[in-house]
Structure formats: C-alpha cells, structure tokens
Structure 1
Amino acid sequence: MPRLLKLALTQFRNYERLTWQPDNALLVLTGTNGSGKTNLLEAISLLSPGRGLRAAPLAQLGRNGSEAWGVSASFEIDGSPVEIGTGAQAGADGSRRSFLFNGRQSRSAAGWEQAPSAVWITPQMDRLFSEGASGRRRFLDRLVIAVTPQHARELAAYDRAMSHRNRLLQTRFGEHSWLGALEATMAQHAVAVAAARNDVVHLLSHYASTALGAFPAIQLRMDCPISDRLLQHPALAVEDWLRTRLESLRDQDRTRGRTTSGVHRSDFVLSDHQSGQQAAQASTGQQKALLLGVILAHARLVEDRRNAAPLLLLDEPLVHLDAGRRATLLESVRGFRTTVILTGTDVEPFAELKSHARFSVLQQGAFLPS
C-alpha cells in the first residue's frame, strides 16, 4: 500500500522550508486557521496528476509571490521507494511547472501512471452540490483518474483539441478541413472520457449500494448526453454522432466564443439510495455524509482495481457531521493501510484515534515540538 515517508517543501504557500517524515500511516494535523494544514495537503495533492486540491493558478503557489517553489516526496509502494517532485522555476517567459518521477523528468503529471493516486475533500467541497457543475466534474474526474490513470491524458487531449477549435472558429472559420479534424479528435477523446466516467460511476454505485455504519447507501448516475448514448450505442457510432453535432454547432459556437456541447459540460447526480433524495436538495450535513460515503466507497474500489488504496487527504472532515457519522468515519480510517491525513482545529474530536494515529500540531507553517 502507498505510504508517505517524507515530504519536503520549499517556498510553497506559507512554508519557507519544511521537511516532514511521518512515522505512521494514519496522521492527524491540528492547528488554528491559517497555520498551513490545507497548504500541506495541497502540496501532497500536487504530486498526483492535475492541478491539486485547490486547482490554483501556478502564480499563487509560491510563497509571498515567489515564482520558484518546490514540492518533493518519498513514498513506499509495494516495499519499494518512489520519489516524486514538482515545482516551478522563474524564466524569461514566466515560471513553468516541471515534474520528476524517480529522477526522470516528465512534461506533465499525466504520465505518472505508476505514482500513488490521491483523493481528497476540503471545506470548499461542502458546496459541491449547490454550485455549478465544473466543481463536480473535477471531483468525478479525480475519482476516475485514481482508478484509470490514462483518463488524465484523455482529458488533456480533449481540452487541447477544444481550445484549438475555439480559436480557429474565431480566426479562420473557413478552414473546414482543419475544423473537421479537430472535431474528430474531440469526439474520439470525448467518448473515451465519457466511457471512463460511466465505468467508475457504475462501479461506485455498486460499492456504495449498502450503508456503511451511519453513512447512507448511495446511488450515482451521469447527467450527460454522450454518456447516455454510450449505454445504447457502440463507441464508434457515438463518435460519429458527436463529430456531426460539433460540425452543426460551428455557427453557434463561433457566436458564443466557446464549444457548447461535449464532455466538458457533463455533470453527475448523487442521491441517497434508500430515499432517493438528491444531494442538491439535502442539508449540508447530509451532503457531507453522501460525499464522504463516496470517498470511502471509492477507496475500496481503487484498492480492488489497482491493488493499492489511494492516499486520503481529508481536510476538516468532521465538520457538519453528527456524532454517529463522526464515529463511523474515524472507525473506517483506522482500517486503511495507505497514508490517511485528517485535519482539524482541535484535537478533541479525533480522540478516538489517540491509540492509532500520530498527532501533530502546525503553527505558522511549522510543526510544533511534540
């Protein structure tokens, strides 16, 4: 199982320099707001494909506006050490992010298919089902990438083709052959993205179909025309349909300045399996319970599929949970063999983990002596 052995930060967020060598798989970090708990989790999240748990612009990651910053970590996976690093250096054209995996440089983290996967929740995700679909897509794609790392490459390829198409619609609208080639590329990658999402949503519904302690059984379904068509038609037929649709929307998309149809507009629906109540209509506490239920089911799914559970980064996970659900969550994380990090402002809510977890206190970007 993946386990974090060492984390080193340089000029990252509120950390000037930090070296942390956790000696337990289950870790509880406490400290006042602004002490650096979320920043530390964000640093770990940047060592997996994507833009991290905040999806922050590169310019925001350096300490006090620094263009140069670095994050590196050592993991143990199947008894072998794995070294991963990422960071940015100032250059003539601005800072650029770089990636290292076992000393080998990579153009992007999308190629790290052997790196440990990571999933997370943050307080901002408490609004996941009351705000726009973009946050839900990012959350779902993070779950898919943990099961199928290739999904990150498909997403990136789709986004590149869409960006080129949007630009071409504005600058060289008459280049029909070029537009057609881009739309064919978009359709190919869109179908791959939708198929991977369908697969994970189906599996998650299965894994979460029974209640886990105080957490309810959960049902998920995609809200996406492309995903729906894949349930009824072969992939090549769906590619042809989407390519034709994109061609028919060129005038509209040119006027609006964006692509109006595709997997970048997909959504998913999460609901209580027994009552049928959707998360969007549930209370904040119920939404948090449904979200954590998905995370716990997903961890079991990834362990079965990849023989290695994902790293769990749980930022303020106990907020909005009643006593029963808090107890269920704390009992569940004790059973994970991968690294699990929980954060909070106070130690007392995590008292049940005293004999199982390593507790540490952060203050102004540094660990206090234990």
Structure 2
Amino acid sequence: MAQLLKLTLSEFRNYERLVWSPDASLVVLTGENGSGKTNLLEALSLLTPGRGLRGAPLAQLGRDNAASWGISARFSFDQDVLELGTGMAGAGESARRVYLLNGQQVRNRDALDDTLSAVWITPQMDRLFSEGASGRRRFLDRLVMAVTPHHARELLAYDRAMTQRNRLLQTRFSEASWLSGLEASMARHGVAVAAGRREMVQQLCLFAQSSLGAFPGVNVTLLCSVADQLEHNPALAVEDWLREQFAANRQQDRERGRATFGVHRTDFRLSDLQTGLLAASASTGQQKTLLMGTVLAHARLVEDYRGMPPVLLLDEPLVHLDRNRRGSLLEIVKDFRTTVILTGTDEAPFEDLRAQARFVALKHGEFLG
C-alpha cells in the first residue's frame, strides 16, 4: 500500500511553504476555486514519470515566477518508507529539473521510475473526446507510464529526433545520410512507443471487460498504423518499414514544415462495451462515466502489474456524474488500498465518506483549522 505520510512544498504554485502530514489514506480536500487543491494534486503527480497532471512547462511552476521550487513527499510502501523529491534549481539557461531519493540527489528521473505510480482525473479531461487527438495521446501515454515508466524516455527520444529532422528538412535538405540517421532513431523509438501503447490497450481492455459499481465496462481501440503493423510483423521489420515511410515523405514534410506520419499522430476510441456507445458521441455525463470506468480499470491493471495500486488523485471527480454514479464512486474508493485524494468546492457531496475519510479545507494555499 502506497500511503502518503508527509508532503512538503516550497515556492510551488500558490504555496510559499506547506508541510502536510495526512493521518488517513482517504482524504477529501475542499476549498473555493483557486485555493490550491489542484496545485497540491499536481505536486504529487510530478513525482511520477512525465510532466504531471497539467503538463505545464517547469518555468511556470514556481510561485510568483520563482526561479526555484521544490516538492518532497514521504511514502510508506508496506514495510518500506521512501522520500521522493523534485524541483527546479538554477536560473535562466542554467535552470534544470532535479530529483531526489531519500534526500540524495540522483542524476536523472530513471532512479525514481519504480517507486511511485499515480492515476488522476481532472476537470480538463471532461473535454478529452470533444477536442483534438493530442490530449487523448497524452492521456494514453500517462496510462502506459504508470505501468512501464521507461515509456517516457522513448517518447522523449522520438520527439527529439523528430524535431531535429524537421529542422534539418528546412535548412539542409540535401544531407541524406544525416536525415537517414535521424529517421532510423525515429523508427526505433517510434516502434517502442507504439508497442507500449498497443500492449497497454490490450491489457486495459481485459481489465475493463467487467463493470465496476455503476461504471460500465469499456472498450478501447487504438488508431495507429505502426501498431497495426506490429500486429503481424516483428518489431525490426516494422522499424525498417517505418524508416522507409519517413524517407518517402521527406519532400512532403519539408513543404508542410512537420512530420506528417508517425506515432505522434496516434489516437484512440473509447466506447461502452455493452451498448457500443462511442465516447465522442456521448453526452458530457456519459463521457465522464466512461472515462471514470477507464481510470478505475487502469488502477486495477497497475495493481496487478506492480503488486500495489497506484495513488488516486481525483480532482472534482463528482462533476457531471448522476447521483447513482456519485454514490458508486464513493463506495469504490473506500476499498482502495492506497492513498486516495478527492477534491471539491464543498464537503456535502462527499458526506458518505465522513466515517472513513479525513476532510481537509484549503484557502489561499493554507489549511484551515
């Protein structure tokens, strides 16, 4: 069980200094808009692979544009206690992200990969199926990283190679060997990214076959030509095929100023397993129900894979849910063997948790009472 024992924030978002030692694994965090509820969840999410629940640039995380900020959290994992930390050090061009494990700075994020996993829901996800594919890709990649943290490295390597190729196509188009090297890197990392997504979707569909409480079983369909190739061909053959696609598209990509083909254009469809209703065609409330069902199924998948459930960060989770599903969600979180933090503007909707949860109120970055 991953239980949060202590959280310390310094110059992070609207927190000048916060030291919080929750005395329960189930917490309801309430407060007016702007009080710092989401910022606190974001701080915890930044201790996992990726860029946190907002995906914000690091320079925006400091309080009042502070150059340096810090997050430290102590967790108990069954018999072990670990202290995880991250922050920004330096200023200007020398500013860099730092990571700490048990008070000691580590060279990179990799050292923390197997320590903590978290799954979250935010109000921004309510638009996941009505906006462009980029948000859905980020959501899918977060699901992958919770199970296989190295997925973040593959994404970063692919993006770096693609950015360099885009620049080279505009400035030195005749450098065929250089372009070939970058395209080989894109193909290698791109196939790894597609394989990770494909494996996640397959496993998620297995865990999401059955409903959980009032949340239906869901079906996830990956829309990715690279993953389709992996269905029938070995990875090395798909790398060769993908490299050939990049080379054939050089002129077109040069004219458009971007790579027009690759795993950076992946999308997915989500639907109700029983009725076939597509999330893209559903009402806002139905979309939230399908999304919540997906997140809960994913939490079970993570527990099966890692032997421990992920931390659940549920920001305004009851919004758009009907009374039956609100009650069902509150019953479900009572049984999770992990830290679960739910937020809302008022305590009343969470009253059914009064006997099991610790209720905490925030105002202007400080706890009340």
Segment of structure 1 superposing worse, 107-116 or 246-255 = 107-116
Distance 2:8 2:342 in 1: 19
Give the superposition deviation at 1:110. Answer: 4.5
Give the superposition deviation at 1:103. Answer: 3.4
2:10 matched residue in structure 1:
10
Give the superposition deviation at 1:108. Answer: 4.0
The yes-or-no answer on 1:253 pairing with 2:278 is no
In the TM superposition, 1:249-328 aligns within 5 A as: 249-328=249-328
Give the superposition deviation at 1:47. Answer: 0.8
Tell me the SS of whatever aligns to 2:93: coil
Distance 1:157 1:250 in 2: 20
Contact 1:303 1:310 (C-alpha < 8 Å) held by counterparts: yes
Distance 1:316 1:109 in 2: 29
Contact 1:50 1:110 (C-alpha < 8 Å) held by counterparts: no
Structure 1 residue runs without a partner (length 5+): none
Distance 1:255 1:82 in 2: 51
Q: 1:48 corresponds to which letter in structure 2?
A: T
Distance 2:252 2:81 in 1: 52
2:358 matched residue in structure 1:
358
User: Which runs of at least 4 in structure 1 moved beyond 4 Å after TM superposition?
Assistant: none
Give the superposition deviation at 1:94. Answer: 5.2
Contact 2:68 2:91 (C-alpha < 8 Å) held by counterparts: no
1:132 matched residue in structure 2:
132
Q: 1:45 corresponds to which letter in structure 2?
A: S
Tell me the SS of whatever aligns to 1:213: coil
Q: 1:271 corresponds to which letter in structure 2?
A: S
Distance 1:74 1:337 in 2: 17
Q: 2:55 corresponds to which letter in structure 1?
A: A
1:368 matched residue in structure 2:
368
1:181 matched residue in structure 2:
181
Distance 2:130 2:107 in 1: 35
Cα-to-partner distance string for 1:213-239 (whole Å, 9 max, x where unaligned):
211110001011111111122211111
The yes-or-no answer on 1:171 pairing with 2:171 is yes
Contact 1:50 1:109 (C-alpha < 8 Å) held by counterparts: no
1:238 matched residue in structure 2:
238
CA-based RMSD of the aligned residues comes to 1.2
* Identity across the alignment (%): 64
1:50 matched residue in structure 2:
50
The yes-or-no answer on 1:199 pairing with 2:199 is yes
Question: In the comparison of the two structures, how many residue pairs are matched?
Answer: 369
Contact 2:119 2:312 (C-alpha < 8 Å) held by counterparts: yes
Q: 1:192 corresponds to which letter in structure 2?
A: A
2:84 matched residue in structure 1:
84
Cα-to-partner distance string for 1:54-87 (whole Å, 9 max, x where unaligned):
1111221111111111111111123211111111
Structure 2 residue runs without a partner (length 5+): none
Distance 1:149 1:68 in 2: 26
Contact 2:213 2:332 (C-alpha < 8 Å) held by counterparts: no
Contact 1:141 1:197 (C-alpha < 8 Å) held by counterparts: yes
Q: 2:269 corresponds to which letter in structure 1?
A: V
Contact 1:110 1:152 (C-alpha < 8 Å) held by counterparts: no
In the TM superposition, 1:25-36 aligns within 5 A as: 25-36=25-36
Distance 1:284 1:134 in 2: 19
